[in-house]
Chains A and B, each alone.
Chain A
Amino acid sequence: MPRNRGMLTQELNISRRTSRRHEGFTLSERHIVSKEEQGLSQETQWMIAVRDKRDKAAFAALFDHFAPRLKGFVMRTGTSAAQAEEVVQDVMLTVWRRAETFDPHRAQVSAWIYQITRNRQIDVMRKENRPVPEALKEEPGLEPDAGQIMAVEQEAGLLRKALSTLNCDQRAIIEKAYLGELTHQEISTQTGLPLGTIKSRIRLGLERLRHELKDLSR
């Protein structure tokens, strides 16, 4: 158990190490907030309940939210409805079985499920497991950091806003790229990909990583 998980389901203890400023609003040290107050999305709350409490009702809620979208997502890459449902079932079972690898400090739920889904689709195609980066080894007893979790969600909101301002052509290129319909050469030559908009998301992730990795010698 890499993190003190139990705490998240009750209340979130803001990290004592730093006070964070995000979107013009500061969380003071030792400030304790309930999950309602700091506005985690429902999906994140469900996922934390699945991970920490093995909550089947929360899993059912996640299924209702994501499975119909996943089916549409998988079918857009030319997969039949029946095969798509097999992938959906595999992905949702992975969500349940690998829940401990969900880290709300690092990803919003949809980002985590997105990668599981693409990995699954590629594994089915290649009939072998995709190479995946090593999992991070976290310091034992590291407390959940509500400021970071909230920042990840807010950043997703900002990204969504940035994507919504794209014109149809740019939006179509983004969708094609992340649905796996463009090669890396095509992605590098398509000017419509607004990679600039992900820069602050990268900074956010890097800040957290530096924090997590500072004691690791590797």
Chain B
Amino acid sequence: MSGITHHTPDSMLAAYAAGTLPHPFAIVVAAHISMCATCRASLEAHQAVGGLVLEDTQCTALTDGLKSATLAMLDDVVIPDPVFEADGIFPGPLVQALKGRAPQWKKLGMGVRQDIIQADRSGSVRLLYIPPGQAVPDHGHNGLELTLVLQGSFHDETGTFGVGDLEVADETLDHTPIAGGDIPCICLAATDAPLRFHALIPRLLQPLFRI
């Protein structure tokens, strides 16, 4: 995918390699890397540094028999973990997060729909469907929000985001994303805190609607 201009910040790629990125963000970053050669190459560089840290780690003596036990298992028949490939506009890591199901859109009002894929204490990850030209209700963030465009485009106060672009919005950004004019915009969005919508639903109701 060429034409991607908004990438994963380096600190997030390092954290992704090390496994410390919160799970909802890790899904979005893995999806972006699946679409973006630049970030894949950067991830590989971080893996190279991680490899050097591993190589420089002092050896610790192994229990007698660990090696022979491991060698004895080489011919065991094992069922391989499933490999998730892209399905249409959905990158492999999103297919994995959906566990193979199709999106189940729930109406959010004004034609905007969402499918909450995961929501727990570490944050949430969801698909957003925004009709052409439609604004997503003005919202700010308690934490960080990552938004990856899978189809169409949107623009907000910070710029225009097309397929493969990743927007990183922190709590200081109070923005109004508007979908581009031609086709519905479909995004994968993750936060590490509940969203706060200003216009659509009073904050008190947010826990009910899980938005």
Contact = CB atoms under 8 A, between A and B. Distances in A.
Interface of A: 56, 59-60, 63-64, 66-73, 75-76, 81, 84-85, 88-89, 92-93, 96-97, 106-115, 117-119, 121-122, 126, 129-136, 155-156, 159-160, 163, 174-175, 177-185, 187-188, 193, 195, 198-199, 201-206, 209-210, 213, 218
Nearest to B23: A126
B146 to A, nearest CB: 11
B41 A59 contact: no
B53 A209 contact: no
A132 B30 contact: yes
A205 B36 CA distance: 12
Chain A at the B interface: mostly helix, strand, loop or mixed?
helix
Chain B at the A interface: mostly helix, strand, loop or mixed?
helix
Contacts of B35: 218
A103 to B, nearest CB: 10
B204 interface: no
A-B pairs, 7 with minimum CB distance:
A110-B51, A111-B51, A205-B41, A188-B11, A68-B59, A184-B15, A114-B50
Interface stretch (B69-77, B131-139, B149-157): B69-77
6 contacts: A96-B74, A159-B52, A183-B20, A184-B12, A185-B11, A206-B41
Interface of B: 1, 9-12, 14-15, 17-21, 23, 25-27, 30-31, 33-35, 37-38, 40-55, 57-63, 66-67, 69-71, 73-74, 78, 80-81, 83-86, 91-93, 96-97
Contacts of B33: 133
Given A68-B60, A107-B44, A201-B44, A130 B26 contact: yes
B51 A113 contact: yes
Contact of A122 (B19, B31, B63, B81): B19
A134 B48 contact: no
A108 to B, nearest CB: 6
Contact of B93 (A133, A163, A182, A195): A133
Nearest to B61: A68
A107 to B, nearest CB: 6
Given A67-B67, A111-B51, A134 B84 contact: yes
Contact of B59 (A59, A72, A112, A180): A72
A134 B15 contact: no
